[in-house]
Amino acid sequence: MNAGPVVIRLSKIVITAGSAQRALLFTLGNLTDYESNRAFVQHVLATDTILPGPTLTWRAITNPAIQTGAYIAIIVTEVLTCLSFLIAAVWMSAKLKAPKEEFHHAKAFTAVGVLLGFGLSSTPRRSLLVTPSVAYL
């Protein structure tokens, strides 16, 4: 195998591993500063930091149990996103010099991570950008 495909594969591994690291940092941030981040999610769901009016406030979620459940779901999804990217990075690393089809199969967990990360990007947090989609190509 010449250097070209290896460099491309390495870039996919680095992007995927970097995405795992980023998801881990978000998870750790939410766990170590739980109350501050929960309060942020609570305010976003309650829509209490915008001007009052029927245009947006009709969708406010003010039930504390639902707000906490949503925040816990965000953290769990971050953990699963991190694990998916980590598994994909390790699996792709193991298949670095394998035939094209084997390396392609090793990228499967990247798709899971992208899907979970995309789901996170549409939650109140919106800060986990889905960057590793190039790794799935």
What does the pLDDT profile of the chain (137 residues) look like in tens digits?
Answer: 577 889 999 999 999 999 999 999 999 999 999 998 888 888 888 888 776 666 767 778 889 999 999 999 999 999 999 999 999 999 999 999 999 999 999 999 999 999 998 888 775 544 434 444 444 44
CB 54 within 8 A of CB 96: no
Angle of helix 108-121 versus helix 3-32 axis, rounded to 10? 40
Q: Following CA atoms 120, 69, 57, 117 in sequence, which dihedral angle do they give, to the nearest 10 degrees?
A: 0
What DSSP element (H or E) covers 109?
helix 108-121
